[in-house]
Structure 1
Amino acid sequence: MSKITENRTRLFALLFAMTFPTLAAWSYFLALAGSQDKPNIGQQSAYVAGKIVQFAFPLLFLAVVERQVPSFRSASQKTLTPSLHYGLAFGLLVVMLMLGTYFGVLRNTEMLRQTPAQLQQKLREFNMATPIRYGVLAGFIVTVHSLLEEYYWRWFVFGQLRQLTTQVPALALSSLAFMAHHMVVLYVYLPGNFWTAAVPFSLAIAIGGAVWAWLYERSGSLVPSWLSHLLIDAGIFVIGWDLLWPLGGRD
């Protein structure tokens, strides 16, 4: 395969990888959303199928199209240790900012008035609307799903972009694509607040994605970005818990 053909193939793969998660999120959060608060088999099936396609695609592309054995960069202790510290510090900083902003400013505001009902409905559609099931879901998203997202967005999307361009464009493109499917989720959970809440929060997610890609580039390992990612996801689920089952009651 010539270099031009190889780059063209990589570009098409990247276009798919960068847009598919948003299309999948649109399908199971909007297109297949039900009007009743009950389990939605179509929505659940679309979610599972979408995740299988998303996370299998990088391995299939490398094995079938490029005929390569997937490999991860080797990380040196010299770069890994400080990157772990940066990832931990960034994750803890964002969690403190999130929890402080939510509990100190946004908790009982008009912006979030409809969010508990939206969240409860979505959990019912996925048959996850009890505290125990929510806890199981949180454990999966925080640990397993966050690692899969790092493999997908940092190792594959950012890594493949780095084969085509320099660091800054790769950081920008991968983080904006990472942001896009979160914007669909925020649009659903923050009805009527697209420009005032969904867009600003989505841009914050893009910044997080850029930091995680930088950590991966710097360290050669997914561990620093995964550590940071799982801390932030844990903070989000704490906020979700309070929206569903208010800690100490609601004013």
Structure 2
Amino acid sequence: MLDNGDRKTALLALTLVVPAASIGAVTALYIGGSWGQTLSVLCQVWLLVFPIAWSVLVDRVNLRFSLPKRLELLDGAIWGIFMFAVIVGIYSLFGQHWIDPVTAKEKAQQLGISSPNIYLTIEAYFVLVNSLIEEFTWRWFVCNKCQILIPGKKAIFLSALFFTLHHIFVIAAYSDWHGVILGSLAVFAAGIIWSQCYLTYRSLWSSYISHAIADLALAIIAWQIIFK
């Protein structure tokens, strides 16, 4: 049985980690410069280091690595392919009209993406590494803390909402209000699916694989916008 102390501790953990993603997005995309980029990187580091430190030092959890089961891999691949198709479909139908390529190219330059090789290196990191870090932070850590605050299925929606918040700032930097609304709803839905995948298997493999495939679709679209 959870007491108010457990809930207060979970709330404190969420308060210390959730805003960091939005701060990082805002400083990188809207402030820029060396100061903005540095703070953004520090926020990204915080999103990984804080959950690990809190889990080990406060929750006294033994972090461990587990090999994926075949069903997890299959589930992740199916959801990933589905999301890939949805992302490409939405962009083909609507996104091309809502995203200003000039603005997108300016933001890419602001982030230091000055050549195709740099872009490919950055996107390889986001597809393979950042997606795993996000799953660890938002599913393994945030979703678990949300379950302490509001046990049951409602925790999935709360964690998906937290996951969506910083994406709103990211989408708004590249798209008009149509794209912000549709994109935010898509991220929220993805957050629900990935949280459910995590809670089903108590493992990140399924959500990580589908997340990486979805990010691959975004990387391909961004390539077409920036370098076409």
Fold match by TM threshold 0.5: yes
Aligned twin of 2:224:
242
Distance 1:65 1:122, change over 3 A: same
CA shift for structure 1 position 94: 1.4
Distance 1:119 1:140 in 2: 19
Over the residues paired in the alignment, what is the CA RMSD in angstroms? 2.1
State the number of aligned residues.
227
Tell me if 1:44 matches 2:37. yes
Tell me if 1:7 matches 2:7. yes
Q: What are structure 1's unaligned runs of at least 5 residues?
A: 34-39, 247-251
Distance 1:81 1:108 in 2: 37
CA shift for structure 1 position 124: 1.6
Code of the aligned partner of 2:159: S
Tell me if 1:106 matches 2:88. no
Q: What are structure 2's unaligned runs of at least 5 residues?
A: none
CA contact (8 A) 1:120 1:129 kept: no
| 1:92-241 matches, cutoff 5 A | 92-103=81-92, 105-106=93-94, 108-109=96-97, 111-112=98-99, 114=100, 116-190=101-175, 193-194=176-177, 196-241=178-223
CA contact (8 A) 1:74 1:220 kept: no
- Pick the aligned partner of 1:64 from 57, 64, 82: 57
Give me the TM-score of the superposition, normalised by structure 2. Answer: 0.90
Question: Which sits farther off after the overlay, 87-96 or 20-29?
Answer: 20-29
SS in 2 for 1:189: coil
CA contact (8 A) 1:59 1:70 kept: no
CA shift for structure 1 position 74: 6.6
Distance 1:123 1:4, change over 3 A: same
Code of the aligned partner of 2:110: E
Aligned twin of 1:21:
21
> Larger C-alpha radius of gyration, 1 or 2?
1
Distance 1:107 1:170, change over 3 A: closer
What whole-Å deviation, never above 9, does each CA across 1:171-219 have from its counterpart, x for those lacking one?
A: 00100110110100011111xx22x220121111111011011011111
CA shift for structure 1 position 12: 1.3
CA contact (8 A) 1:73 1:220 kept: no
Distance 1:73 1:166, change over 3 A: farther
CA shift for structure 1 position 125: 1.9
CA contact (8 A) 1:18 1:174 kept: no
CA shift for structure 1 position 16: 2.6
